[in-house]
Homo-oligomer: A and B are copies of this chain.
């Protein structure tokens, strides 16, 4: 399917894959750490191999035991997707006790802005502020 969303979902469009990546951003690097989320060993093995094959994790060392799985730049660039899920979940599936995790600017300590599209001038844009231009690769093979 020739669409960037569909292409991205081919790689990332799996609940466990996104939860593994969430844990990687929390600092998890080892098989046993990723198991803590409740995933089965079989599924975790398959998903980690997939994420290494797709260049989202570097496996260190490449073969053998005691591997660490480290996010590549391609993996780190998944963060806006996860933060968008987080903010949507905070808004629409909140916890009665309040905040779970708050993501802050490390340098100021202030919460990051709500995930949103922004104009070049830095204005947050709503869905109704956004239109779409069809490019040369749309609808081609």
Contact = CB atoms under 8 A, between A and B. Distances in A.
B18 A15 contact: no
A100 B138 contact: yes
Determine how many copies of this chain the complex contains. 2
A125 interface: yes
B119 A108 contact: yes
Contact of A4 (B12, B89, B112, B131): B89
A78 B95 CA distance: 19
A61 interface: no
Nearest to A110: B120
A138 B80 CA distance: 21
A128 B41 CA distance: 29
A105 B119 contact: yes
B137 A100 contact: yes
A41 B109 CA distance: 49
Given A5-B89, A77-B92, A91-B77, A119 B130 contact: no
Interface of A: 1-15, 18-19, 22, 25-26, 37-38, 71, 74, 76-93, 95-108, 110-113, 115-123, 125-138, 140
The 8 closest A-B pairs by CB, nearest first: A99-B135, A4-B89, A8-B89, A95-B137, A7-B93, A97-B137, A13-B15, A80-B84
